[in-house]
Chain A
Amino acid sequence: MSRTYNIALIEPSEIVAEGIIALLHKTGKNIQVTHFFEFSTFSYKQSVLNFQALLINPLSILNLETEWNKFIEKNTDIIRIALIYNYLSSHHSTHFHHVFYLNQPISDLARMLTETEPSRLKTENKETLSKREKEILRYLSQGKSIKEIADLVHLSPFTVLTHRKNISSKTGIKTLAGLTVYSISIGLISIDEMSE
């Protein structure tokens, strides 16, 4: 189990980058992180350093779509994870195998980074729900509004809405009634807790 994972982090904020590196170190997994502030310096080094996974803030590739697409084409075996502070449009999420939100537990990120091979792209990938998504799904099934949930979990309504979209894309279920049936089936809520 002592395999070393060589990963690249592209993140313009030093505070965020240092925080992630420190937390990943604490997971006990052998993850070596090389931090880049910009995409251009990273792509120059990629061929030499041979990273297995890339955690990137999509803001770093703003207006660099051509370079980014070339990189994806050449490096099909590298796991690409988007690092998101709060919101990501669905257009962007198709470029990534995973999306990691800053408010998710670091163990989620460690799991994404240490996959042995890239899974299918995010939009096609039916992963299990994260802890946060389950929490939000539970409140939704109880009939709480996005605004009420945002207050309860101390997130913006926009972020809650993004979680709601991700829950639907992972489960394939869009309507509230359908999500409630799903919540019951996985034991997330009991019949008594259900919304009318």
Chain B
Amino acid sequence: MYLKKNIELNDNLFEIIELNPYVLFVFEHLGYIDEPKNLTVKNFCKKNKLDERLFLSFLNIYNGNSDIPPVKAQKKHLPVIVQFLKHSHNYYKNEKYPYINNLLNELNKKVKLKEISLLKKFFEAYKSEVIEHLDYEENNVFPYIEFLIKSKQNNIFSTKFSIKDYQEHHSDIEEKLSDLKNLLIHHLSVGTNASLKRQIIFNLYELEYDLHAHSIIEDKILIPIISSIEKSNEPNL
């Protein structure tokens, strides 16, 4: 979806957003909501003291271009990445999922068909699964990263957790979201409630886009940095 254009340092953010408004997620998840954006990527980074390579990677991933050059494995990136992930989690848990849930409740009230009430249950089960995954990250992964940020070399192995434990999950969650969309688009009738159905479908697409970019950031930026730090701390046997 959207242009797979490779965003570069001298591109203007105003134009990038105009072409693909989904990149606004990057600003929101980083906590730069009201900052002026009529700047080049380079100048925005300078103004907000952001690492150019890291910020450019976020923008490109949210622009549908996940083929990004590797970000240098430096500890200084970790606080920004964790902040990004935490804000995203907050948005999913407290805004996006409850919002879609409400729309589905409304649809279920209006369309009294057993398949719609079953679809609602399907969504609720899927939502619980995602939230469980997000909670796991908040309770295990984030504290571990924060520990890494603070720790001096060589005492990392005092914790039981390692990033290897973390590289699972994701694909099942993506399949369920895709099923929800396909059921609504191709198979379920909602009578006169087309507008409600459309709102749910569009929200599911938006969620899917954001979650997909989110998992690429974890896989292509976060995990390589952590693995590299873990490796550099391995005792030489």
Chain A interfacial positions (CB closer than 8 Å to B): 126, 171-175, 177-178, 180-182, 184-186, 191
Residues of B within 8 A of A181 (CB): 115, 118-119, 122, 183, 188
Closest to B176 in A: A175
Let me know if B114 is at the binding interface, CB within 8 A. yes
- Report the minimal beta-carbon distance from B183 to chain A, rounded to whole angstroms: 6
Asked if A185 contacts B180 (CB within 8 A), the reply is no
Q: How far is the CB of A30 from chain B (nearest CB, A)?
A: 35
Closest residue of B by beta carbon distance from A194: B118
Interface residues of B in 179-214 (CB under 8 A from A): 179-180, 182-183, 186-188
Instruction: Tell me the interface secondary structure of chain A in the complex.
Output: helix
> Is B178 interfacial (CB-CB < 8 Å)?
yes
Q: Does B168 contact A (CB under 8 A)?
A: no
B187 touches A182 (CB 8 A): yes
Known: A171-B187, A185-B187. A180 touches B118 (CB 8 A): yes
Given contacts A181-B122, A185-B188, contact A175 B179 (CB under 8 A): yes
Question: How many angstroms from the CA of A186 to the CA of B115 in the assembled complex?
Answer: 9
B165 within 8 A of A: no
Known: A172-B182, A191-B114. A178 touches B176 (CB 8 A): yes
Total A-B contacts with CB atoms under 8 angstroms apart = 50
Chain B contact residues, CB within 8 Å of chain A: 113-115, 118-119, 122, 125-126, 172, 175-176, 178-180, 182-183, 186-188
* Contacting pair B118 A178 (CB below 8 A): no
B181 to chain A, nearest CB (A): 9
Output the residue of A171, A172, A174, A181 with the most chain B CB within 10 A: A181
Residue on A with the closest CB to B185?
A: A172
Contact B175 A174 (CB under 8 A): yes
Question: Are A173 and B118 in contact, CB atoms less than 8 angstroms apart?
Answer: no
Taking a contact as CB atoms under 8 Å apart, the answer to whether A173 and B182 are in contact is yes
Give the docked Cα–Cα distance between A171 and B181 (Å).
12
Q: How far is the CA of A191 from the CA of B115 in the complex (A)?
A: 9
* Bound Cα distance A173, B172 (Å): 13
Cβ–Cβ contact B186 & A178, under 8 A: no
| Shortest Cβ distance from residue B141 to the other chain A in the assembled complex, whole angstroms | 25
Whole-angstrom distance between the Cβ of B93 and the nearest chain A Cβ: 21
List 4 additional contacts besides A175-B175, A177-B179, A185-B113; criterion CB under 8 Å.
A173-B187, A174-B175, A178-B182, A184-B114
- B204 smallest CB distance to A (angstroms): 13
Closest A residue, CB atoms, query B186:
A172
Docked CA distance A185–B179 (Å):
14
Given A184-B114, A184-B115, A184-B118, does the pair A177, B183 have CB atoms closer than 8 Å?
A: no
A177 and B176 within 8 A (CB): yes
Q: Which among B172, B179, B180, B188 has the highest number of chain A CB atoms within 10 Å? A: B179
Chain B contacts of A184 at CB under 8 A? Answer: 114-115, 118
- Does A177 lie within 8 Å of B125, measured CB to CB? yes
Rounded to whole angstroms, the CA-CA distance of A177 and B126 in the bound complex is 10
